[in-house]
């Protein structure tokens, strides 16, 4: 979707052209039908295919008429249909993954219909009903699941990976990340979203990255339709995995190459959840589980304190259920639900070695310790240590209702409604120790003892409840009419997310200070302090050698205390409407042996993102004369707990107690002026943003089967146009100048040639003499209002702040693009070897808000009009506009994909694939002047007339012409051990591995701009590149399934994740922040205690429970003890319970 400006007339013209083209195609097809209506006598063959081992109807089984190229693939109901079969006797061959081919001979009557069903993995009874043995079902549970996935992959012409929900046993959390993380090319992000670490547990999957592209570039769909998700405080395209449940899905697809009938807005790939149909089984089926979630480090059957102001069970219950009821062969309902609670304990240690690498290691300024040793990279000193105790508890609920109705044999109607809620209560309790180190201080690799100067120690309490819900609904209808298949679909999805505090009886934050004289850090394992000592300042009976016990709340100060309240509200709504029309081109004689299908359609997506509220920076201040003591706010509930990593138990303050205290005594108030009032105003302005994007798309594609079904092709084109309307904060850097009605600075050649400032006495506005009187008279005559008292700085005067920053400035932009072409080919080289190759174009959408890179400015839409004096130093520019570019094109990837797959007779699969991408249109910094297309486009989007800004300069972003190339290899193998006999059939294994290569793009070429005064300036733009991630990663697992007992052990691996920051030091070496390579192991156990009930245990990340970030010096000089930057400790997550199936 390479985008350019599109005016309304152009859009209408394009639409009219599209309608004319579609009508012409339909007319041509319709006219052709009579011409070839004289076809031989034919009939129809229909049937269903069932799995005898579990009773399920099989999707993606194939039925072939022997000796022809006529092949049918079963749909989601296990049905197949072959039309236009010549009258007479024909032989059918049915095949399914890992099963012997079945044959059946039927006689087709002229204009008649014949039914032929097939059963794999066993035989039906005399009455045609499959009899199920529950123990056989258990033995073949995993192999059946693998077969479902492999069949879906093999019958798709495009390249995708599929996982069945049953493939990995019980995963009570229902988190989609836990199902897809073993697929090749997948990496999972855990914990915080978009840098916001409030309300996220480090052991819960939250984002999916595909082929090195991040979660914000990965679209998540349900039955091919988009689902909304949002997080409070941020506008993001990422779908948080913790906000959705998979409990009604039957399988998950990872689509790596999109076909033209679906958007290609996920540059790496997109994930599609296929919901369960009520027609998957011929009889009603029910299942339910009851389980307990727990962390082995906090295994307690009684309520214990935390995470916030009351005791809770850390071993918490959960349940999920699913019911599928086909009332008849044409009407059925599925209903599923889940309710559960999960407790997480998160500890975090953050040692800081040197406040600034460059300054601390400069030979002239580096600190020398008492032993005369100067600080260096090889001999660093610890200057800060933060330790955080952040327990949380999360409640999730979800429900899904799907209705399937077949009004007639040629019609299908499906309606689906899904609702989910989540609520996380978390308390982050943090201590922040900062020893002041000067020359002669006592520091080395074992300790860091501050001097008698004023070291600091702070206590920070953050309790913010993250609450949200998502509701999605969709309707799909299709009909076969006069040889055409018409599909109509509509969906809506709305996600709401909030940070709550006062509404729930607490503030969101509170800071206290210890005010010590000295801080001493005594280092233990991996450079983490195992003991900390703080000392009194001199005064009274205390000396700087007297220990001041930081664990006692009475020693802390409430001076300048503030009550923080960070209530924020986010909404994201996605509406979709689409229509698809397809027609088999079987009326052309030369194509009757080579089935070809034409499909075309149109679609509209409407996405609206809104965030509002106070913002997370809001605070209240103590009223004049109001006071309290720390004893009033001591947390008498969360008592006797260490903040972690060996430190002594800490007494904490409580934001709940503070809220109750204020409610009773009215201590705090909202500041009306001053720095705190300005802070609250800015928090509000920056929190309030809106963006609505409307995308109109049309596509056309052809699918065909050739060479007796051995070669399949899918190709076509898709085109999209997008309109954006939004509101974003606006900053006026010339807020302090008096303006005319049109917004320009008022000047007077005699009295004020450079304008008049309202925050300065130098411009005579507030002068008491004749000069001041003359100036005020001139202003009055010009109709310019002015204040009678001087304004303060915009950082401390609320009047100035409101002029400096203004909320909700409108933007409006339309963009369109060239078609996106794709061609997928699949070739059956042999009965066991498939080859696939694809060319496609996919897109990486711009962030919603991210400084000048995002569609909305990151709080920095700024307009600065230069005074006459300033214009000379600005090369004659009359002013400068700094703004995000709402007309940015998405980054466009040209993709080639290749895959070879080998399928074994027993249902195994071995695949190897290679891909390459050339990504263009990356965002780069860009400066231009009035009169250029980019200048005019951006100003028009903001509602300004470009002609009114002649001579102005704009600093914004543009699309770079540089290419960023990426490529990779992906491997997957899955196979049981049936070669070893019947016992070996119960064992199976899989392994996946991926390698990605992201070489940096070539540097941007400098460009030259001509300034208004005739001079030239050469600029080198900065290009935003893809964030680097681990480039070697994969997964593996071993499974056993017996008649009663089943077991799985699975793991994922990745090498170093280089997505952290890099600091270039004075000597040219680099300090890189890295997530070291890691392995995560999961375990799943099951035991059938009867034909309907079984016990299970599921463990997530059972061995580690700890993650690090480290510093790595490019020259290897940094010692190991100083390499740790961040350690998170959270423990394993287990679920144990009982499951019933009926």
Q: List, for residues 1057-1087, the tens digit of each pLDDT value.
A: 876 677 888 788 888 889 899 999 999 999 9
* Cα separations in angstroms, 272 against 161, 249, 603: 11, 10, 18
Indicate the range of 522-536, 556-570, 722-736 predicted with least confidence.
Answer: 722-736
pLDDT band for position 10 (cuts 50, 70, 90):
very low
| pLDDT at res. 1136 | 94
Share of the chain above pLDDT 70, in %: 90
Q: What integer is the mean pLDDT of 115-130?
A: 68
Highest mean pLDDT among 142-151, 591-600, 1110-1119: 1110-1119
Q: What integer is the mean pLDDT of 906-923?
A: 91
| pLDDT at res. 1059 | 63
Structure-model confidence comparison of residues 944 and 582, the more confident one: 582
Q: List, for residues 953-979, the tens digit of each pLDDT value.
A: 988 888 888 888 899 999 999 998 888
Indicate the range of 31-40, 248-257, 537-546 predicted with least confidence.
Answer: 31-40
Please tell me whether residue 943 adopts helix, strand or coil conformation: coil
Decide: residue 376, CB within 10 A, 0-12 exposed, 13-18 middle, 19+ buried: middle
Which H or E run includes 804? helix 798-804
Beta bridge partners of 398: 338, 420
Indicate the range of 17-31, 648-662, 1122-1136 predicted with least confidence.
Answer: 17-31
The torsion of the CA quartet 284, 290, 296, 302, rounded to 10 degrees, works out to 170
* Cα separations in angstroms, 1054 against 212, 228, 307, 783, 914: 12, 29, 32, 68, 19
Indicate the range of 189-198, 468-477, 1081-1090 predicted with least confidence.
Answer: 189-198
| pLDDT at res. 681 | 93
Structure-model confidence comparison of residues 509 and 133, the more confident one: 509
pLDDT band for position 255 (cuts 50, 70, 90):
very high
CB 172 within 8 Å of CB 291: yes
Q: Is the pLDDT of residue 843 over 50?
A: yes
| pLDDT at res. 356 | 64
Highest mean pLDDT among 101-105, 134-138, 224-228: 101-105
Q: Is the pLDDT of residue 133 over 70?
A: no
pLDDT band for position 855 (cuts 50, 70, 90):
low
Distance from C-alpha of 187 to C-alpha of 1056, rounded to nearest angstrom: 12
This prediction's pTM: 0.85
CB 431 within 8 Å of CB 643: yes
| pLDDT at res. 860 | 58
Q: What integer is the mean pLDDT of 1100-1108?
A: 86
Q: Is the pLDDT of residue 651 over 80?
A: yes
Indicate the range of 78-87, 137-146, 771-780, 934-943 predicted with least confidence.
Answer: 137-146
Mean pLDDT of the chain: 85
Q: What angle do CA 389, 391, 392 make, to 5 degrees?
A: 150
| pLDDT at res. 27 | 45
In the numeric block, which tokens belong to residue 875? 């090369």
Count other C-beta atoms under 10 Å from residue 193's C-beta: 26
Q: Is the pLDDT of residue 31 over 50?
A: no
| pLDDT at res. 32 | 45
pLDDT band for position 385 (cuts 50, 70, 90):
very high
Q: List, for residues 674-687, the tens digit of each pLDDT value.
A: 999 999 999 998 88
| pLDDT at res. 21 | 43
| pLDDT at res. 9 | 39
| pLDDT at res. 1 | 38
pLDDT band for position 534 (cuts 50, 70, 90):
very high
Beta bridge partners of 891: 844
| pLDDT at res. 54 | 78
pLDDT band for position 137 (cuts 50, 70, 90):
low
| pLDDT at res. 605 | 93
Picking from 770, 772, 742, the residue whose alpha carbon sits closest to that of residue 756 is 772
Q: List, for residues 1039-1059, the tens digit of each pLDDT value.
A: 998 888 989 999 999 999 876
Phi-psi label, residue 620: left if phi above 0, alpha if psi -120 to 50, beta otherwise: beta
CB 267 within 8 Å of CB 217: yes
- CATH 2.60.40.10, applies to 39-132: yes
- Domain positions in the chain are 39-132
Distance from C-alpha of 332 to C-alpha of 58, rounded to nearest angstrom: 17
Sign for the CA dihedral angle at 226, 229, 235, 240 comes to negative
Q: What is the DSSP string of 247-284?
A: TTEEEEEEESS--TTS----SS-EEEEEEPPTTSSSS-
| pLDDT at res. 198 | 59
Count other C-beta atoms under 10 Å from residue 46's C-beta: 16
CB 751 within 8 Å of CB 775: yes
| pLDDT at res. 254 | 92
Q: Is the pLDDT of residue 274 over 70?
A: yes
* Exposure b/e, 954-967, CB count within 10 A at least 16 = b: bebbbbbebebbbb
Indicate the range of 100-114, 262-276, 347-361, 985-999 predicted with least confidence.
Answer: 347-361
Picking from 345, 373, 363, 522, the residue whose alpha carbon sits closest to that of residue 441 is 373
pLDDT band for position 646 (cuts 50, 70, 90):
very high
Q: What integer is the mean pLDDT of 43-62?
A: 87
In the numeric block, which tokens belong to residue 99? 């099963």
């Amino acid at each position: 979707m390479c985008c350019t400006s599109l005016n309304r007339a152009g859009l209408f013209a394009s639409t009219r052209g599209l309608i004319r083209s579609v009508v012409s195609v339909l007319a041509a097809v319709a006219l052709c039908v009579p011409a070839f209506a004289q076809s031989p006598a034919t009939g129809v063959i229909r049937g269903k295919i069932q799995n005898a081992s579990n009773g399920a109807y099989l999707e993606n089984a194939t039925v072939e008429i022997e000796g022809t190229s006529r092949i049918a693939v079963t749909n989601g109901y296990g049905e197949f249909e072959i039309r236009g079969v010549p009258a007479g006797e024909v032989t059918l061959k049915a095949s399914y993954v890992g099963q012997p081919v079945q044959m059946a001979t039927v006689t087709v009557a002229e204009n008649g219909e014949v039914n032929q069903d097939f059963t794999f993995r066993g035989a039906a009874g005399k009455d045609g009903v499959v009899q199920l043995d529950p123990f056989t079902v258990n033995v073949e549970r995993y192999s059946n699941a693998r077969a479902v996935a492999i069949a879906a992959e093999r019958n798709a012409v495009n390249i995708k990976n599929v996982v069945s929900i049953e493939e990995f046993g019980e995963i009570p959390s229902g988190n989609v990340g836990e199902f897809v993380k073993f697929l090749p090319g997948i990496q999972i992000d855990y914990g915080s979203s978009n840098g916001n670490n409030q309300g996220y547990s480090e052991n819960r999957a939250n984002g999916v990255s595909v082929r090195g592209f991040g979660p914000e570039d990965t679209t998540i769909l349900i039955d091919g339709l988009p689902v909304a998700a949002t997080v409070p405080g941020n506008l993001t395209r990422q779908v948080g995995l913790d906000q959705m449940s998979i409990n009604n899905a039957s399988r998950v697809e990872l689509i790596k190459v999109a076909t033209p009938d679906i958007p290609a807005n996920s540059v790496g790939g997109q994930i599609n959840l296929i919901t369960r149909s009520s027609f998957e089984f011929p009889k009603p089926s029910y299942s339910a589980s009851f389980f307990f979630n727990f962390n082995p480090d906090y295994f307690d059957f009684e309520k214990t304190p935390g995470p916030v102001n009351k005791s809770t069970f850390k071993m918490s219950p959960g349940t999920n259920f699913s019911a599928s009821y086909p009332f008849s062969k044409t009407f059925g309902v599925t209903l599923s639900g889940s309710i559960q609670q999960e407790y997480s304990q998160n500890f975090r240690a953050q040692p800081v070695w040197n406040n600034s690498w460059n300054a601390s290691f400069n030979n002239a300024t580096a600190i020398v310790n008492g032993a005369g040793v100067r600080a260096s990279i090889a001999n660093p000193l610890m200057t800060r240590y933060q330790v955080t105790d952040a327990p949380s508890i999360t409640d999730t609920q979800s429900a899904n209702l799907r209705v399937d109705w077949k009004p007639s044999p040629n019609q299908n109607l499906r309606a689906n409604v899904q609702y989910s809620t989540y609520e996380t209560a978390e308390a982050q309790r943090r201590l922040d120790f900062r020893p002041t180190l000067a020359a002669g201080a006592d520091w080395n690799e074992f300790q860091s003892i501050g001097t008698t100067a004023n070291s600091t120690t702070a206590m920070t309490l953050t309790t913010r409840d993250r609450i949200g819900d998502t509701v999605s609904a969709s309707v799909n209808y299709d009909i076969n009419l006069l040889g055409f298949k018409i599909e109509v679909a509509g969906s809506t999805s709305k996600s709401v997310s909030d940070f709550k505090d006062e509404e729930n009886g607490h503030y969101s934050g509170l800071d206290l200070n210890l005010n010590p004289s000295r801080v001493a850090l005594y280092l233990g394992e991996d450079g983490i302090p195992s003991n900390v000592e703080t000392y009194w300042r001199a005064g009274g009976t205390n000396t700087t050698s007297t220990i001041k016990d930081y664990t006692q709340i009475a020693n802390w100060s409430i001076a300048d205390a503030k009550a923080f309240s960070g209530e924020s509200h986010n909404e994201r709504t996605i509406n979709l409407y689409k229509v698809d029309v397809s027609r088999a081109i079987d009326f052309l004689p030369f194509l009757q042996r080579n089935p070809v299908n034409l499909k075309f359609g149109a679609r509209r997506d409407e996405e609206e993102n809104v965030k509002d509220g106070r913002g997370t920076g809001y605070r209240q201040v103590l009223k004049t004369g109001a006071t309290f003591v720390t004893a009033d706010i001591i947390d008498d509930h969360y008592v006797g707990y260490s903040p972690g990593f060996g430190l002594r138990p800490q007494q904490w303050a409580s934001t709940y107690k503070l809220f109750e205290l204020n409610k009773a005594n009215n201590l705090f108030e909202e500041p009306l002026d001053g720095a705190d009032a300005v802070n609250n105003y800015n928090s509000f302005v920056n929190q309030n943003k809106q963006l609505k994007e409307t995308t109109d798309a049309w596509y056309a594609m052809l699918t065909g089967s050739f060479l007796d079904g051995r070669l399949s092709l899918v190709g076509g084109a898709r085109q999209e146009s997008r309109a954006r309307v939004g509101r974003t904060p606006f900053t006026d850097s010339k807020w302090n100048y008096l303006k005319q009605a049109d917004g320009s600075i008022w000047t007077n050649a005699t009295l004020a040639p450079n304008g008049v400032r309202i925050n300065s006495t130098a411009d005579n506005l507030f002068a008491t003499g004749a000069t001041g009187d003359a100036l005020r008279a001139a202003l009055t005559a010009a109709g310019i209002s002015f204040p009678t008292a001087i304004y303060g700085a915009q950082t401390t005067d609320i009047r100035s702040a409101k002029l400096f920053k203004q909320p909700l400035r409108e933007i409006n932009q339309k963009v369109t693009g060239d078609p996106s072409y794709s061609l997928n080919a699949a070739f059956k080289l042999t009965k066991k070897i498939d080859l696939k190759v694809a060319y496609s174009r996919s897109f990486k959408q711009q962030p919603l808000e991210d400084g000048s890179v995002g569609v909305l400015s990151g709080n920095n839409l700024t307009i600065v009009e230069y005074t006459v004096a300033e214009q000379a130093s600005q090369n004659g520019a009359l002013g400068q506009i700094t703004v995000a570019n709402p007309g940015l094109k998405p980054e466009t990837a040209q993709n080639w994909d290749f895959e070879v797959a080998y399928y074994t007779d027993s249902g195994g699969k071995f695949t190897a694939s290679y891909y390459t991408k050339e990504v263009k249109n990356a965002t780069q910094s860009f400066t231009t002047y009035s009169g250029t297309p980019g200048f005019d486009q951006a100003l028009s989007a903001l509602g300004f007339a470009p002609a009114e800004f002649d001579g102005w300069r704009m600093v914004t972003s543009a699309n770079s012409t540089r290419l960023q190339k990426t490529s990779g290899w992906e491997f997957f193998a899955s196979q049981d051990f049936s070669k070893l006999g019947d016992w070996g059939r119960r064992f199976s294994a899989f392994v996946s591995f991926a390698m990605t290569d992201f070489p940096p793009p070539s540097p941007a070429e400098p460009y030259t701009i001509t300034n208004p005064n005739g001079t030239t300036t050469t600029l080198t733009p900065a290009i935003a590149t893809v964030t680097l991630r681990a480039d070697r990663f994969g997964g593996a697992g071993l499974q056993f399934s017996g008649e009663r007992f089943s077991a799985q052990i699975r793991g994922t691996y990745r090498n170093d994740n280089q997505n952290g920051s890099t600091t270039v030091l004075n000597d040219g070496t680099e300090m890189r922040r890295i997530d070291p390579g890691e392995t995560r192991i999961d375990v799943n156990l099951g035991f059938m205690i009867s034909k309907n009930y079984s016990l299970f245990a599921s463990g997530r990340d059972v061995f580690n429970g700890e993650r690090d970030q480290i510093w790595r010096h490019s020259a290897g000089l940094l010692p190991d003890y100083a390499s740790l930057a961040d350690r998170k400790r959270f423990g394993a997550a287990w679920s144990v319970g009982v499951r019933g199936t009926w």
